[in-house]
Amino acid sequence: MKKHMSKKGTKKATKKQPILDNATLLGMYRQMVVIREFEEQVEDLFARALIPGVIHVSIGQEAVAAGVGGALRPDDHIIITHRGHGHSLAKGAQPRYMFAELLGKVEGYCRGKGGSMHVADPSTGNLGANGIIGGILPIATGAALSAKCRATDQVSVCFFGDGAANQGLLLESMNMAAIWQLPVIYVCSNNQYGEYTPTGDVTAGELHQRGEAFGIPSASVDGMDVLAVHEAACQSVARAREGSGPSFLVFQTYRYHGHGSSDRERAYRTREEEEMWRGRDPIERLGQVLLANGQTSSADLESIAQEAKDEILAAIAFAKDAPFPSPEEVSQHVYPS
pTM for the model stands at: 0.91
Q: Write the single-letter amino acid at 139.
A: I
State yes or no: pLDDT of 323 exceeds 80. Answer: yes
CA dist 248 and 233 (Å) reads 10
Q: Which of 26-30, 62-66, 117-121, 308-312 has the lowest mean pLDDT?
A: 117-121
Beta carbons of 32 and 283 less than 8 angstroms apart? yes
Q: Write the single-letter amino acid at 202.
A: V
Give the DSSP letter of residue 185: E
Beta carbons of 190 and 199 less than 8 angstroms apart? yes
Question: What is the pLDDT at residue 337?
Answer: 57
- Superfamily name and number for 10-331: Thiamin diphosphate (ThDP)-binding fold, Pyr/PP domains (3.40.50.970)
State yes or no: pLDDT of 221 exceeds 90. Answer: yes
Task: Name the burial class of residue 297, with classes exposed (0-12), middle (13-18) and buried (19+) by CB atoms within 10 angstroms of its CB.
Answer: exposed
CA dist 100 and 93 (Å) reads 12
